[in-house]
């Protein structure tokens, strides 16, 4: 593993955007459940059946788009994304997929999940004042095939700009081998973009890195 599982203890909430195996992994959730017996899982409609079976937890909340979870000292909303769901041959789009907006104190964080281009990014900026935008910018090549589900780094930057995010944090690249682009290509493209554009600010994080907001 790239990180020590012991780092993931005392978690209040675990957010699962959709059912694809690089986002909703059975072994990972079993390990997290063992280390965090009192955590609450926040996910999409109908995805609770997997989580309950793997974690043996009843602390699971599901939501549809534009719904808000019941949480303490923090607000978490489930919002649209342009993507799809499938784990087996026969269950296409039987569960929902989406993104999250997290509000804590005076900060608002957007987590895109997986998404292709769409007007939902601009809508996020109309509904919320986004401080930090965690947005996918990998698994996009070849674009003729992948673009309905994932956006490239340039489009991710434009999406962060469309929602008027103050800081963009690129994610969903350089870990799982899901597509044809080189693992480090998203960082190279984004660094080139910042040579001519300064807003939003881009904060690059290595795997496992943390920072205080």
Does residue 113 lie in a domain region?
yes
CATH of the domain at 123: 3.60.15.10
pLDDT for the residue 198: 84
Sheet holding 201-202, edge to edge: 67-68, 75-79, 99-104, 107-111, 132-136, 167-171, 201-202
pLDDT at 79: 98
Helix, strand, coil distribution of the chain in percent, nearest 5: 25, 20, 55
Split into its structural domains, the chain has a count of 1
Q: DSSP string spanning 160-173?
A: HHHTT-SEEEEES-
CA distance 132 to 101: 10
How confident is residue 208, by pLDDT bands cut at 50, 70 and 90?
confident
Cα 93 → chain centroid: 18
| Residue-wise pLDDT tens digits, 138-153 | 999 999 999 999 999 9
Dihedral (C-alpha) 43, 44, 48, 49: value to the nearest 10 degrees?
-150
Q: Does any domain span residue 153? A: yes
Give me the percent of the chain exceeding a pLDDT of 70.
100
5: in domain? no
Task: Using alpha carbons, select from 155, 105, 152, 154 the residue that is nearest to residue 132.
Answer: 105
114-125 pLDDT, tens digit each: 999 999 999 999
Nearest CA among 66, 58, 9 for reference residue 35: 9
Nearest alpha carbon to residue 121 among 146, 96, 169, 155: 155
- For 82-92, the pLDDT digits (tens) are 999 999 999 99
The reply to whether 11 falls in a domain is no
| pLDDT for 122 | 97
pLDDT tens digits, one per residue of 156-192: 999 999 999 999 999 999 888 889 999 899 999 999 9
* Domain housing 193: 106-205
What's residue 211's pLDDT?
86
pTM score of the predicted model: 0.94
Q: Is residue 195 part of a domain?
A: yes
Please write the tens of the pLDDT for every residue from 11-70: 999 999 999 999 999 999 999 999 999 999 999 999 999 999 999 999 999 999 999 999
């Amino acid at each position: 593993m790239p990180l020590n599982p012991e780092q993931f203890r005392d978690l209040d909430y675990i957010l699962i955007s959709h059912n694809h195996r690089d986002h909703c992994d059975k072994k990972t959730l079993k390990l997290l459940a063992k280390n965090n017996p009192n955590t609450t899982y926040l996910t999409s409609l109908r995805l609770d059946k997997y989580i309950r079976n793997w974690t043996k937890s009843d602390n699971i909340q599901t939501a549809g788009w534009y719904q808000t979870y019941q949480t303490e000292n923090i607000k978490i909303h489930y919002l649209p994304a342009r993507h799809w769901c499938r784990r087996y041959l026969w269950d296409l789009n039987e569960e929902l997929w989406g993104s999250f907006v997290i509000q804590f104190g005076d900060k608002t964080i957007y987590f895109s999940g997986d998404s292709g281009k769409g007007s939902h990014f601009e809508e996020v900026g109309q509904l919320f004042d986004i401080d930090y935008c965690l947005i996918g910018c990998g698994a996009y090549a070849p674009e003729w095939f992948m673009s309905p589900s994932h956006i490239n780094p340039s489009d991710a930057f434009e999406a962060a700009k469309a929602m008027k995010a103050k800081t963009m944090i690129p994610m969903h690249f350089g870990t799982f081998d899901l597509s044809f682009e080189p693992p480090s290509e998203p960082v190279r493209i984004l660094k080139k973009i910042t040579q001519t554009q300064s807003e939003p600010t881009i904060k690059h994080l290595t795997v496992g890195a943390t920072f205080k907001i």
